[in-house]
Structure 1
Amino acid sequence: MKPVAPRVAIYAGSFDPFTLGHEDIVRRGAALFDRLVIAIGINPDKQPLFSAAERQEIMGDIFADLPNVQIAGFTGLTVDFARSIGASVMLRGVRTVSDIETEFTMALANHILAPDLETVFLMASERFSHISSTLIKQIATMGRDASREQLLKFIPERVVTPLLEKVQRERAEGMGDRGQ
């Protein structure tokens, strides 16, 4: 009898910052696959709030209880990285109808580039379907009094302190620039 190859999936994104919706997809995906690699896409043309190393450390702490979850950074095409780690599945989370259009287009392109990779969609749990990293950044940076309690409704506790520290640092640096 031929041994069955482990089912390896990749869940790729910028995760800047990492949200409760992301965590939900990872935990559900970890139950479906033998190994799930959270792949942090690094785009040199973008200025993320958190460095790739910071995101990797935060997610490592969040998923310390899941031995089949690994975190890695990558540059280039996701399909190339997926192949390099032996993944056969690209896991994607879908929140809204507009996500479905975007994800469908991406899945078709990925299938042309890598016909051996399947895309599996998980619908966001309804309590997380409205959460996006962009929304979190807006709440944290634009909200006058973004509090720990408010942010805990959207992001894991492990993300709150570093996010608030970054926002406070940016505000302080911005005020220093205005005074010159």
Structure 2
Amino acid sequence: MHGSLAVYPGTFDPFTPGHLDLLARARVMFDQIIVLLAVNADKQPTAEATTRAVQVREAMPSAWGNVEVDTWTGLTTAYCLRRGATVIVRGLRTAADFHHEYQLAAMNETLGIQTVWLPARPQLAATSSTAARAYRAAQSDRPSLNAEERPPATHKPEEGPGRV
């Protein structure tokens, strides 16, 4: 769409491969796209918005010159109206996502902002930011077993011909 500016909003905590895939597809549909990191007081992200914005920029190929990353506190539609964006891009992973997103899209449309939904690719649909955070937390809670912390081997296999 010539002259089009779209906004892809979210908390992106963390920015997952699914987010990156959706952004890759959306960026060829619009002249410019802004990844908008929402600052939402109801959510408690694991990192500040500016840190998450840096992580999003680092995840994107440098050749994506038509993608900008920004942060915003407030309604996404207010940001869109301020920047002149006419479209919000959202991803859908499940039918439950659709029901929630439909209500948001209806509200946004009354304010003059259209919503475009892109379905998650099947191989990426199972991973949500919530699942990624849970996995990351589980990994950090797991005790480290450095070489000097490992318990001594109690059984040593016999060595000999044909044994590895």
What's the TM-score once normalised by structure 2's chain length? 0.81
Rounded Cα–Cα distance in structure 2 between residues aligned with 1:87 and 1:142: 39
Rounded Cα–Cα distance in structure 2 between residues aligned with 1:87 and 1:5: 13
Give 2:76's aligned amino acid: T
CA apart distance, 1:51: 1.0
- Greater share of residues in helix: 1
Correspondence list, 1:25-174, <5 A = 25-63=22-60, 64-112=62-110, 114-115=111-112, 117-143=113-139, 145=142
Rounded Cα–Cα distance in structure 1 between residues aligned with 2:2 and 2:121: 30
Structure 1 stretches of 5 or more lacking a match? 147-180
Residue 24 (1) aligns with residue 8 (2): no
Rounded Cα–Cα distance in structure 2 between residues aligned with 1:123 and 1:61: 24
Where 1:131 maps in the other structure, the secondary structure is coil
Q: How many residues align?
A: 142
Rounded Cα–Cα distance in structure 2 between residues aligned with 1:38 and 1:22: 10
Rounded Cα–Cα distance in structure 1 between residues aligned with 2:120 and 2:41: 29
Rounded Cα–Cα distance in structure 1 between residues aligned with 2:129 and 2:81: 27
Provide the residue aligned with 2:152 in structure 1: none
Rounded Cα–Cα distance in structure 1 between residues aligned with 2:117 and 2:107: 15
What's the TM-score once normalised by structure 1's chain length? 0.74
Structure number with larger C-alpha Rg: 2
Where 2:3 maps in the other structure, the secondary structure is coil
Rounded Cα–Cα distance in structure 2 between residues aligned with 1:97 and 1:36: 25
- List, as ranges, runs of 4+ consecutive aligned residues in structure 1 with deviation greater than 4 Å: 143-146
* TM-align CA RMSD: 1.9
Rounded Cα–Cα distance in structure 2 between residues aligned with 1:59 and 1:137: 15
Rounded Cα–Cα distance in structure 1 between residues aligned with 2:43 and 2:121: 29
Give 1:77's aligned amino acid: L
Identity across aligned pairs (percent)? 32
Rounded Cα–Cα distance in structure 1 between residues aligned with 2:117 and 2:42: 28
Rounded Cα–Cα distance in structure 2 between residues aligned with 1:98 and 1:44: 23
Rounded Cα–Cα distance in structure 1 between residues aligned with 2:91 and 2:22: 6
Give 1:75's aligned amino acid: T
